[in-house]
Amino acid sequence: MSLINGLPAHVLLVHFVVVLVPLSALALVVCAVWPQAARRLGVALPLLALVALLSVPLTTQAGEWLEQHVGSTALVRRHAELGDGLVPWAGGVFLLAAAVWWTVGRKPAPETGPRSAPVGPVIRVAAAVLSVAVAAGAVVDVYRIGDSGAKAAWQNGFSKTATSGEDR
């Protein structure tokens, strides 16, 4: 994917990543800490995280195309390096979202067989702590990547003083 309506696809797709990865991370933490929220969200929790995860490599591929079509600077290279590291964080959010949904968020099955053992408090606390750690890592990584991308795109690309006002 290279262009969408004449614009580089990366600058459009990045908005999905910037919104969906932190939103998935927040939903994961809420559901891991509050099982009733996981039951309410149900399968939407892992589906949201899956869409966020899938948006990352699409955006990265579009960014690699864009990188070949802009001047190579240290800022662009740094942004590309940081961008390559988001897939593991988004993957972690997805895996934990699926695990939280599987253990506490699913609707109970009809009584057809032996009852499954409820998730113990130790597992719930461990899942919550791990969810907070992975969610924080994902959000911080999105911030770092976005900050480096903004610097790469806007460094010396605008005036710090207002224009004369002719365009108003």
Mean pLDDT of 56-79: 93
Q: Give the pLDDT confidence of 77-113 residue by residue, as tens digits.
A: 999 999 999 999 999 999 999 999 998 867 665 665 5
Helices (H), 8-161: 9-33, 35-41, 44-67, 74-83, 86-100, 121-154
pTM of the model: 0.85
Q: Does the CA dihedral 93-42-116-125 come out positive or negative?
A: positive
Mean pLDDT of 116-141: 88
| pLDDT value at 168 more than 80 | no
What is the structure's pLDDT at 111? 60
